[in-house]
Amino acid sequence: MSTPLLRSVHIHPVKAMRALARTEAEVQPWGLAADRRWTVVDASNKVVTQRRHPRMALATAEPLPGGGVSLSAPGHARLEVEVPTPRPVSPTVTVEIFDKFVEAVPADPAAAAWLSAYLESDVRLVHMDAPEHRRPVDPDYALPGETVSFADGYPLLVTTTASLDALNSLIAQGDHADEGPLPMNRFRPNLVVEGTAPWAEDGWKRLAVGEVTFRVARPCGRCVVTTTDQLTAERGKEPLRTLAKHRTSDGRVNFGQNLVPEHTGTVRVGDAVKILD
């Protein structure tokens, strides 16, 4: 077995929009820099993702200096959105994300108009201004003081190419073999590791990626987003059908591991990955 290496790094500046590949990224306590600090909410301030709007996969948010984003999508002109600040004319709003409530700051109304037109739904864009205290990690799997951005629940997600290959082999033997092989972008990871055995990540407790160490919080439960083609927004049955047969635990289907940084630093494509525990 070769030495595991970091094969790719990905950020998602607006939750649920297209993933962006990076050659390196700063690791902050709540996740990678520029990863999921923005999210879309509906008229009741509930977070909107590809679960409800698969076409979010086709929209792109590029980071701008200072933390803003440049939005683009098929058939819509590009729109630059600056980071809002909480003030009397732009107070924080209470956002619901997976039955939890988080304070966030609404973006300029132009962003709401742009997104509402694209998704054909009444939505707006909000920003997490203070990730160091806005949203704690699930206390059942966290240490005191650990926080997370608008990611599903944990600061980072790691997957391995060997496990994807193994999953694709299982899909090829199933009832929807025509849907495979699936690319890694179905799972929207932050870090992708190569050079491991299939499913080796199931046994990881701590790992080092280059200069940064991480604690493994728990396996990542998967949802309908994984059935969404990230290039077309079309949905199928896989990989959930196959995961349900082969990768179920605690009532969830799993692929990948959720990580919490133990300190800050920078991760780079090509970094050695060491399993510490």
Q: What is the pLDDT of residue 132?
A: 96
113 or 86, greater pLDDT: 113
Residue 90 tokens, joined: 């732009």
DSSP 105-149: EE--HHHHHHHHHHHTS-EEEEE-S-TTTSSB--TTS--TT-B--
Q: Is 229's pLDDT higher than 90?
A: yes
Q: Give the model confidence (pLDDT) of 115-139 as tens digits.
A: 999 999 999 999 999 999 999 999 9
- Rounded Cα distance between 41 and 46, Å, is 5
Q: Give the model confidence (pLDDT) of 172-220 as tens digits.
A: 999 999 999 999 999 999 999 999 999 999 999 999 999 999 999 999 9
The set of residues, in sequence order, having a beta carbon less than 8 Å from that of 77 and lying 6+ positions away, is none
Model confidence at 250, pLDDT cuts 50, 70, 90, reads confident
Q: What is the pLDDT of residue 1?
A: 60
Q: What is the pLDDT of residue 85?
A: 80
Q: What is the pLDDT of residue 91?
A: 85
Mean pLDDT rounded to a whole number for the chain: 96
Q: Is 88's pLDDT higher than 80?
A: no
Residue 39 tokens, joined: 């999210």
For residues 81-89, average pLDDT: 82
The set of residues, in sequence order, having a beta carbon less than 8 Å from that of 74 and lying 6+ positions away, is 58
